[in-house]
Amino acid sequence: MSFNKQIYDIFIIGGGINGAGIARDAAGRGLKVFLAEKNKVGSATSSWSSKLIHGGLRYLENYEFKLVKESLKEREVITSIAPTITKPLPFVIPHSKKLRSKLLIRLGLFLYDNLGGKTKIPKSSKINFNKKYSNILKSHFKVGFQYYDVQVDDKKLVEMNIEDAKKMGAHIVENRKVINANRSKKGWEILLDNDEVVNSKILINAAGPWINEIVNNVIKANKNKSIRLVKGSHIIIKKLYDQEVAFTLQNDDNRIVFVIPYKNVYSLIGTTEVDVNSPDNPKISNGEIIYLINTINNHFIKQISEKDILDTFSGIRPLIEDFKDASKVTRDYVFDLNLENKNSPLLNIYGGKLTTYRKLSENVIEELTPYLSIKNSKNWTDTKVL
C-alpha cells in the first residue's frame, strides 16, 4: 500500500462532464484537486448524449422554467468558451393537428427565445415546407416552426475541461477505481484499486449513474436519494437529407425524437426514454429500434428499416426520482451535502445535464466555500476559453 503524502482540498470520484467541470473550476481557483475515473474520462454518459447544448424546449411543458432559463444562458456561455467544438444548428418542428397546437408551440418558442436574455443565436420563426426544406417530409406536413440550438462534441468537451484542469495543477487518474473511502476528523482517506491511499479534506461523488453504488459500497454512508436510471438510445444511419438542419419530431406519446446531421454524412436519431435497473453496459433494445424507425417513417418521405442502421449507442441518465413518466422526470441537479463531520464534508451530486455542467461546477464551489481556503473566490469559467 502506497501513501500519497499530498493532502488535497478536493477528491472527485467520476470523470464525466460534471467531475471534469468541477476539477477545472477548482484547480483554476488554486485548490489542490485529485480526480479518479474508473475508465477513460468522458467514456460513459457524457459521450452517449444527443450531442446538444440546448435549453430543453420540451421541459417548458413540465413548467421547469428555472432549468430552461439557466440552460439557455449556459448555451450562450458554452458557445463562447468552446467555439471550436460547438455550432448553432436550426431545428424544425413539423406541425401536426393531432398533437400540440400552433398556439402552444408559438408560446413555447416565445419563452425559449426570451427566457435566457440576450443571445447571438437566431430567434424562432414559422416556416412553410413548400418553400423551405421541401421534399423531405411527407406531404401532409405543410407548416412548421424553426428554432436554434447548439451541436457539440460531448466527449471532446469533457476532455478539454480535463486538459485545462491538468494544466492548472489538478491530478487526474484514469482506469482507477475508488474501492474505499474512510472519514476521519481530519478529512478523507481514499483507497484506490492500485493500493494507493489519497488524503483529501473534501470528497465529491460525481459518479453519475453509479452515484448510489459509491454511496452504499465505497463511502458506506447508507444515506442516499432515490434515483431513476433512464436509458436513452440513438441510432446512426446514412444521412436522410442533404440540408444542414435538424428535426424535432413529436410523437403520439408526447415524447420527442431528434434527427440531427452528424459528422457530415450521417443522421443521428434519438433519444428514447426507458427505465432500467443497472447503469452497466447499456444497449439499445429491439423495442427502441422499432420506436425510432417508426418515428422516422411516420414523418419522412424516405423510409428506413433496420438494415439501414450503421451504429447504435445508449446512455444512462441518473434522474431524481419523482414518480412521473420517464419523459417528465426533471433533468435538474440536486446537491446532497453530508456534514456528519464538518472537517470532512461529502457532496453527492444527483442528476444534471451536459448543458448545465459549468454552472453546476460553479455552484459546487460556492456550496463548499465555507469548508475551503480559496485563493480565488471570483467565478472565472464563464469567460476563459477552453
Strands (E), the chain: 2-13, 33-36, 52-53, 86-94, 125-128, 143-152, 171-173, 178-183, 188-192, 196-205, 227-238, 246-250, 256-262, 266-270, 274-276, 309-320, 333-338, 346-351
Q: What is the mean pLDDT of the chain?
A: 93
pLDDT at 323 (0 to 100): 47
Decide if pLDDT at 330 tops 90: no
Place of cell 464563464: 382
Looking at residue 343, its pLDDT comes to 84
> Of 186-195, 312-321, 368-377, where does the model show the most confidence?
186-195
Average pLDDT of the residues in 357-373: 95
**pLDDT > 90 fraction of the chain, expressed in percent and rounded:** 84
Quote the crossing angle between the two packed helices 17-27 and 154-167, to the nearest 10°: 30
Which one is predicted more confidently, 111 or 319? 111
Give the pLDDT of residue 187: 94
How far is Cα 250 from Cα 259, in angstroms, rounded to an integer?
Answer: 11
Question: Which pLDDT belongs to residue 221?
Answer: 82
For residues 98-123, give the mean pLDDT: 94
**Stretch 304-326: mean pLDDT:** 84
Measured between alpha carbons, how far is 358 from 155 in angstroms, rounded to an integer? 15
pLDDT for residue 322:
58
Residue 197 has what pLDDT? 96
Domains of the chain as residue ranges with CATH:
2-45+155-224+331-371 (3.50.50.60), 87-151+228-322 (3.30.9.10)
Q: Which set of grid coordinates corresponds to residue 277?
A: 435497473
Distance from C-alpha of 263 to C-alpha of 87, rounded to nearest angstrom: 12
195, containing H or E segment: none
Phi, psi of 57, rounded to the nearest 5 degrees:
-50, -45
Q: Which residue is listed with cell 435538424?
A: 246
pLDDT digits (tens, 9 = 90+) for 240-277: 999 999 999 999 998 999 999 999 999 999 999 999 99
Burial class (CB within 10 angstroms; exposed 0-12, middle 13-18, buried 19+) of 300: buried
Reported as a pLDDT band with limits 50, 70 and 90, residue 325 is low
Alpha-carbon gap, residue 108 to 88, rounded angstroms? 19
